[in-house]
Amino acid sequence: MEKALQGVILQFKEMYEDRVKSLLKDDHALKAADLETLKMQLLKAPSSLSSVISRQISTQQTMAAMREVGEAFNPLRTEAIETFELLENKKRLLIEAENEMYDLTLPLPAQDSGYLHPTTQVIRELNSFFRYHGYSVYEGPEIETAEYNFRKLNLPENHPATDQQESLFIMQPDILLRTHTSSVEARALTNLEPPIRLVVPGKCFRNETLSKTNSSFFYQYQGVVVDKGITLKHLKATLEQAHKFLFGEDTVLRFRYKYYPEVSPGMGVDMKCKFCDGVGCDVCKGRGWLEMLGSGMIHYNTLKMCGIDPEEYTGFAFGMGLDRQVMQKFAVSDIRKLYGGGVVYQ
Ligand SMILES: [Zn+2]
């Protein structure tokens, strides 16, 4: 056999073994391999090694020479054709199996993972009501000075009301956990120029014994309006609208005179009990009404101490015990359930 022809057959053999036969043992390479191009280079195209060899065979001088080359090359060629067939089938199966696999990177469908705490829901509802009516949502510190918690609110030192509240002091006698959100009202009145219209949702702290209706910390929702010509009429209308927004149109409020040192006159506001519709039940302690909040016209002295001219401006303020609002709205009968770890509130 001529040397040149032997060289081409060797080339065919090497290429087949290195680039085709090796794929039988390597699935990863097989998936990436371009079998069609390899097949063209090795077997099919007119310029392929196989075609070159076939043409050379046909130019051999004698039948014996042709047979010799054929016997050397044909088994190799047949093996190559069969290997390509095997590889093509295997590749198809690999790709099919891959498409059937789960894609673990796909995001799962959305699931309900929880709800906002009832108190947060009520705060947001009230915020949206008051924002709509032109109020700003204001915040203040939970650790407060006696100055803002008492003095500026018409509660001088040794005033009996400062004692009533059973405050929790951080450092006596001046630094304490705020006992009401009125402290933020004092800050706002001191720092802002009228007209003022704001609400303050926030946590307050008192030295209370834990019971069904009392807790050592609780939420208040404070409202403050100061402008020229503000009267009780504005206060009543605001509270009525806010409660109807929160509890429904059939909500009934009752206003009665009540003493609060920081306002004059002061009004206690009761809502007809939603549990018993005014008949009397456990929640309203048989009274048919629930005390919801304290309110009133901001005291002359409070305005003055906060640097607002009480001859020019008047204003109202209210402070809701937010937990009661939440308990009424969600029919929760025990305040402890709002702050426990459980998710069942009834
Ligand atoms: Zn009731």
| Residue 209 CA, ligand 1 centroid: distance in Å | 23
CA of residue 198 to ligand 1 center, whole Å: 31
Q: Is the pLDDT of residue 338 over 90?
A: no
Whether 323 contacts 335, CB under 8 Å:
yes
The tokens of 93 are what? 């199966």
Across the beta sheet with 314-321, the strand order is 136-137, 196-205, 217-227, 314-321, 289-298, 263-272, 253-257
Q: Model confidence over 210-248: pLDDT tens digits?
A: 887 778 888 999 999 999 999 999 999 999 999 999 888
pLDDT at 345: 61
CA angle 234, 189, 137 (to 5 degrees): 70
Q: Do 213 and 335 meet the contact criterion of CB atoms below 8 Å apart?
A: yes
DSSP-assigned letters across all residues of 220-252: EEEEEEEETT--HHHHHHHHHHHHHHHH-TT--
| Cβ contact 215:190 at 8 Å | no
Q: What is the DSSP string of 272-289?
A: E-TTTTTS--TTTTTSSE
CATH class of the domain whose range is 118-339: alpha beta
Q: Ligand 1: distance of its center to the CA of 294 in Å? A: 20
pTM listed for this prediction:
0.63
How do residues 255-275 score in pLDDT, each as one tens digit?
Answer: 999 998 889 899 999 999 888
Span 43-54, average pLDDT: 84
Annotated domain spans of the chain: 3-100, 118-339
Q: What is the pLDDT of residues 168-210, one digit of tens each?
A: 888 877 899 999 899 999 999 999 999 999 999 999 998 888 8
Q: What is the pLDDT of residue 171?
A: 86
Question: What's the pLDDT score for residue 274?
Answer: 82
Distance in Å, CA 271 to ligand 1 centroid: 10
Annotate 95-107 with DSSP letters as a single string: HHHHHHS--TTSP
Q: Tell me the pLDDT band of 98, cut-offs 50, 70 and 90.
A: confident
224 Cα: distance to centroid of ligand 1 (angstroms)? 30
Helix or strand holding residue 144 (H, E): strand 143-145
Please answer whether residues 322 and 329 qualify as being in contact, where contact means their C-beta atoms are separated by less than 8 angstroms.
Answer: no
Q: Do strands 253-257 and 263-272 pair parallel, antiparallel, or not at all (unpaired)?
A: antiparallel
Find the 290 Cα to ligand 1 centroid distance in Å: 8
H/E segment holding residue 164 = helix 160-164
Q: Comparing 155 with 315, which gets the higher pLDDT? A: 315
Please give the distance, rounded to the nearest whole angstrom, from the Cα atom of residue 344 to the centre of ligand 1: 21
User: Where does the pLDDT of residue 163 fall: very low under 50, low under 70, confident under 90, or very high at 90 and above?
Assistant: low
pLDDT score of 9 more than 90: no
* Confidence check: pLDDT of 161 > 80: no
Q: How many angstroms is it from 345 CA to the middle of ligand 1?
A: 18
CA of 213 to the centre of ligand 1 (A): 14
Neighbours of 306 (CB within 10 A): 21
Ligand 1 center–CA 272 separation, angstroms: 8
CA of 243 to the centre of ligand 1 (A): 17
**Distance from the CA of 11 to the center of ligand 1, in angstroms?**
99
Percent of the chain scored above 70 by pLDDT? 97
Q: How many Å apart are CA 61 and CA 310, to the nearest integer? A: 127
Q: Are 40 and 80 in contact (CB under 8 A)?
A: no
